[in-house]
Structure 1
């Protein structure tokens, strides 16, 4: 696949394009497709800065989910969280794949990226209103700002990259039509109809890339660059989990002192973050043999990112339960941690298999581990809340150890 994609792309070296260090800060350059076989392709400083604005939005969504869980508003809280997180993730994902193919890093490109960063901050400011009042106005405003900037980027690509014009125009048209739908949805009556229209528009957003790429020249995104971008965002989300959990630990210690339960939850949370991080990055390099594989892998990360951030919200809810704040029982608090962790394990097993990055038996191993984690979520009546969360951390550590042994056996040369 790599050679086929390279042969149909404007290669940077052949076109006399400067290396990455020389690209930065140029006033204007023609937007051509980047070489998907370019060596040493790495995330740019602009992409890293862009990610930081999104972690603000992720933090807001996780904080509001924590409050909803602690107060026992589980159904409405999860629905609001899923909706808000889709807007955050989809805005990030669309920029990431576009940048992998058409990153010129000139002044117009950087200014349009700035507009998208402003949009995600507007979106983040509206997260609380979604959870409290089901008011999506500010979230939609921020989201549309981001998407209008992307439409402009695609139109520029269509104008300057003749070989990819058909696909770029499809992207621009598809995104524009769906944004009209999001704006119109603000006048939808509340209740069931509002959620039906939301799901329809989500399906439309997800369909745009498949439609834009179908039957034409593939957008020249860089497989290794994409994998690195997703890995970096995973680390950023895990960092938000650590930060949120630390704040909750500090609050619990301030209220009741450093108790054994708080220590066990803190240690268990750290083991969970470290174990999940290791499992995510333990494996072979991702392989995207087809567009369907790439889309499955990319779309599946919505649930991975959302579940990771929800794990942080669950840890915070567990610490709130220790302080006897809110309506959540100890068993409920244990499940708020166990369920997202189990979901992450199941998803990583499936996605590693799709991308060819897992070992033999990888999916059954992580599936069995997810079942163990779920069982431990019901164990606070036996072990206490601290013991249950610490047990979850130990269970993920054991799953990681089995995962590494499986890789070692697979790679060991035959005797």
Structure 2
């Protein structure tokens, strides 16, 4: 039986890895390890289909070490013993241990001395937070790296590679994948490359050739193969951004029913990244200081949604949307930072006052650095009047508080008191 496309397209060396540039890009930690042939055990954690196994196999391919794959939940201690014996004979074995968070104490105790000796280089893979789910004895002997969902651009690269690779991919097939279908496939799989490749292969294998002998893959075919309708995408992709725009404007306008409707369309399309990013933006841009607790609750809801995945993710997402919709609103924070940036970009920066400059080095006092600085905690109420802005901006005011929430009302009163005290 032919292996799945996602399996066949796994990288054989570190240069073939798609995405994860924070780990395998030029001068990054895993590439440095491979180049120097100084590998240490590591734990890779992140969502399914993001390349944990691919990184492990690529490391093995680049270093020419033997590579073995086991599952901590289903493989036995005897399987680990076989790997250990091989390591004694060959010198070093890279062991990818999937679901490492399910490693029991017996297997762990067997592994530890082999990790210490370096005969086995362990690459643990898990979707769970290793700081919570993995035993400290293993965790302390491994570096922990987060593997992130692939960006849409990375998925595009992998899809095109699969379509053109005649040895491992679909290069021998006369496939015409429409631009809209490819865009949709890259977006709807939410950074899961395995799902994207497997859906592509299903589309190719299950679609008959047309009269010209070409396998035409359009968005309707891709929708069927990923089992998610493109409710948020029209044929040129504009509707995706229209729905996101309507989503944010509905929350900003406190229309909870409209906001739930538009988020429902994004949920139906499986677009958790867009929902998460937009919710986080809305929390701090549109609610902000009127209700900081709602911002914190939104962050927690997004984290829960990512942990749960769909369909359960819809529950904390709905809680966050309702919370933000019905919360008091204030855009004072974004207005404040944009006002400050406007001055900076207009060349109104000015020199940092001498009493605020760094004075933590010998000779700083001779340059007048920090000499006249007044330490606020040495004064009543932990405050003393002194200038902080550059001289040319001495009277600039960027933050103007609103009164739509109780918290910001308190901030406004404090701001008024401080400004009056400074003037007097």
TM-score by length of 2: 0.28
* More helix as a share of residues: 1
* More strand as a share of residues: 2
Larger relative contact order (CA 8 Å, sep ≥ 6): 1
TM-score by length of 1: 0.29
